[in-house]
Structure 1
């Protein structure tokens, strides 16, 4: 990724990314917060599956599957990558275990597309904040061992008695501290649009603007903007995306009416943003993920072709 100054140097006044609504239209009323990530070549998609899709199979007193089993399934689905969510690793997690998974992935022709942590940088200085930062740094170390190029992170939640401006500053500070550490290990941190201060595209772009690190970017989650037309918002953050997680539905503001994801429109948004990287299916619906994920991956591949 380019340095922070380089990212700002060229496209400050560009229009937001193009979107597709039937025919191709241009969304010109919003300018990017900073220059988009500059990439060479043409858009390129590699496909992965998030272990969160198997959450009910990987958890419980007697889990039905292990992460090793999940990796086998990813290989059987013909994927280029596997996203190994931190929630499903044994505690404690040893480096020898990480290397076993890395070895298995390599033998099966899979890259570790990334991992994900459930951090919260909204705490005031003190024990809880220190624990969150320490946990994130520990997973940066583990991502380096795994060979994972990116970790999906959260901003956190605004705490009682903390005003929004101060809360935002706390989160930015926590992200920057962890990005500095991540850069020393060759790992990127990608902030997900995931409720709270990142529930809206404007909230996300505040972090894009304020976090000063070349190791920082966006984890674009296609199901987490709850509006009548979330694709307008996805188009605005797509130019800053380091990783993409695709849901099979979107929802309106009430979160009551689920709509099938328009995969073709989504693919066009990423092409217009010149995205090059992993696109990970994150299946959250009620069906059996071992049956449903291969079906949706076939649809996504066709739609993104």
Structure 2
């Protein structure tokens, strides 16, 4: 029996944020667009495109459309629901509670995870403790629904791979992990964390991976990230899940940016496929 590819490719909804914001693409048509336009059969949602509707309005529609097109729902990226690491405990609890509806939506859609942020304030140690507390509270709600709570490097101290790894270690729950993003390693306006080091530090906790892309050279290689080097780190960590296309550039149309990122991942996958033992 021929083994399948060592990773599969999914599409992050943020790759189409311009079309979604200007009304060119209805958020409910994202599953069809992924499959028909982009040839991708697994998707990652962004909560902001559905926040105005109650879960019972959009979840059944998405379930119907993903079923119709043979698309797998993987996760929901959650933003704008409060700081899980807020210094004030009451504010942390409010943020945790605000995330509950997205846990419920993810479970109803058949996703494996919600992606959250580890936003906080204070010293690095204080932020670690506060973020770990909020994450632990949220994962205890999510675990009975078999939903993971995964944290992306997404600005502030969360873009410090070692710090975020320490938060996840402190949470110490099998349902709490990471979503390493190839590009989000700017801690502040003056500090950029090494992206290869950061992904290496976060891969032991990874339950999803985001292949961020912005621009490409004439050979179709991403100009900010060496995809072969980065995907070697992903492969060598033993990861065998989905890698999400997340095109965020402006030099290409969203359709072309998704296509070129997907083609690059396919080339790198073929080059780096682990050799089976005889």
Normalising to structure 1: TM-score of the pair? 0.76
Query: Could you tell me which of 14, 21, 41 is aligned with 1:52?
Result: 14
**Separation of aligned partners in 1, 2:4 and 2:234:** 11
Q: How many residues align?
A: 253
Task: Give the secondary structure class of the aligned counterpart of 2:247.
Answer: coil
More helix by share: 2
Q: 1:42/1:267 Cα in 2 relative to 1: closer, same or farther (>3 Å)?
A: farther
Instruction: Tell me what 2:117 maps to.
Output: 154
Instruction: Tell me what 1:145 maps to.
Output: 108
Matched, 1:223 2:183: yes
Which residues in structure 2 correspond to 1:74-93 (within 5 Å)?
A: 74-76=34-36, 77-93=38-54
Instruction: Tell me what 1:106 maps to.
Output: 67
Contact 2:129 2:167 in 1 (8 A): no
C-alpha displacement of 1:203: 0.9
Higher relative contact order, structure no. (Cα contacts within 8 Å, ≥ 6 residues apart): 1
Instruction: Tell me what 2:229 maps to.
Output: 265
CA-based RMSD of the aligned residues comes to 2.3
**Separation of aligned partners in 1, 2:249 and 2:157:** 25
Task: Give the secondary structure class of the aligned counterpart of 1:221.
Answer: coil
Q: 1:64/1:90 Cα in 2 relative to 1: closer, same or farther (>3 Å)?
A: farther
Query: Could you tell me which of 65, 85, 92 is aligned with 1:122?
Result: 85
Instruction: Tell me what 2:189 maps to.
Output: none
| Structure 2 alignment gaps of length 5 or more | 187-191, 216-221, 271-278
Contact 1:46 1:80 in 2 (8 A): no
Give CA deviations for 1:168-210 in whole Å, capped at 9, x if unaligned: 2121111000001110111001111112121212111211221
| Structure 1 alignment gaps of length 5 or more | 1-40, 251-257
C-alpha displacement of 1:125: 3.5
Normalising to structure 2: TM-score of the pair? 0.83
**Separation of aligned partners in 2, 1:94 and 1:84:** 13
Matched, 1:188 2:148: yes
Give CA deviations for 1:2-27 in whole Å, capped at 9, x if unaligned: xxxxxxxxxxxxxxxxxxxxxxxxxx
Instruction: Tell me what 1:34 maps to.
Output: none
C-alpha displacement of 1:249: 4.7
**Separation of aligned partners in 2, 1:243 and 1:69:** 23
